[in-house]
A and B are shown apart, each in its own frame.
Chain A
């Protein structure tokens, strides 16, 4: 957890998370997104995907998790990304997602983070962005 004030150029993370099929089942239950492309290999392949893929929102939730860990739970005012490359989750083991960040700017009480999110060395999110309120008392 970051306790020092955040300043432009600060490097945050990287944080590594493993996504398993069981995680996708739990996420489907908790989020209500039961799209079978996140559970069923045959359905995923039938629509042209390489296999079962993680919910884009699961990957984005991991970004939210990393940002919370780095900033001590700072209030998020903007969070988003393009899901440019699917995170394929194998039946055995899991997919490893790495979230790295840099403080791009600190201005008017807002901290803008530049992020890089990869799986197997390949970027999976396009233009990921998070803006948080500058942690109070930091």
Chain B
């Protein structure tokens, strides 16, 4: 089933802020093998942890199955590096929607802000949703 076209412009906040703890950053850095001291230099893709929560909130709200989603594109622009102790909030905005070959191409932008409300990082993502009918094999 295609995604509702009226979604464009709607906002989906992550359900809870994410506190950037030493434990979470160290686990993430270890999983990706990031060099150096993760507590001094947080891996640049760590913000996906919170951006993913916002995306999951969006998928839940729209009853879209995660396993029908493939990540098409991801770009991050950073205003400053993340630091241990940051408390970050995220809101995802659906910025575009089109159909190609039976798949929905959903463009999103997620803004991550710190406890003062300042933007730390903006993540732009494209999510490719295959509705399933054409994938039956």
Q: Does A associate with B in a complex?
A: yes
**Is the CB–CB distance between A80 and B31 below 8 Å?**
no
A29 CB contacts on chain B under 8 angstroms = 27, 31
Residue from B53, B73, B78, B130 whose CB has the most chain A CB atoms within 10 Å: B73
Min CB distance, B66 to chain A, in Å? 5
Say yes or no: is B71 at the interface (Cβ < 8 Å to chain A): yes
Q: Interface residues of A, CB < 8 Å — how many?
A: 44
Per-residue CB contact flags for chain B residues 52-81 toward chain A (1 = under 8 Å, else 0) read: 110000000000001111111111111001
Which of A32, A45, A48, A80 has a CB less than 8 Å from the CB of B53?
A: A32
Say yes or no: is A91 at the interface (Cβ < 8 Å to chain B): no
Given contacts A47-B68, A77-B77, A83-B72, contact A32 B35 (CB under 8 A): no
A77 CB contacts on chain B under 8 angstroms = 77-78
Say yes or no: is A31 at the interface (Cβ < 8 Å to chain B): yes
When A and B form their complex, what is the total count of cross-chain residue pairs whose Cβ atoms lie within 8 Å?
120
**Is the CB–CB distance between A83 and B78 below 8 Å?**
no
Say yes or no: is B5 at the interface (Cβ < 8 Å to chain A): no
Residue from A61, A62, A78, A81 whose CB has the most chain B CB atoms within 10 Å: A61
Per-residue CB contact flags for chain B residues 14-33 toward chain A (1 = under 8 Å, else 0) read: 00000000001001101111
Say yes or no: is A23 at the interface (Cβ < 8 Å to chain B): yes
Min CB distance, B26 to chain A, in Å? 9
Which of A35, A46, A60, A65 has a CB less than 8 Å from the CB of B33?
A: A65
CB nearest neighbor in B for A67: B44
**Is the CB–CB distance between B32 and A62 below 8 Å?**
yes
Interface residues in chain B, defined as those with a beta carbon under 8 Å from any beta carbon in chain A: 24, 27-28, 30-36, 41, 43-45, 48-49, 52-53, 66-78, 81, 124, 126, 130, 132, 134-135, 137
Interface residues in chain A, defined as those with a beta carbon under 8 Å from any beta carbon in chain B: 17, 23, 26-27, 29-37, 43, 45-49, 55-58, 60-62, 64-65, 67-69, 73, 75-83, 86, 126, 129
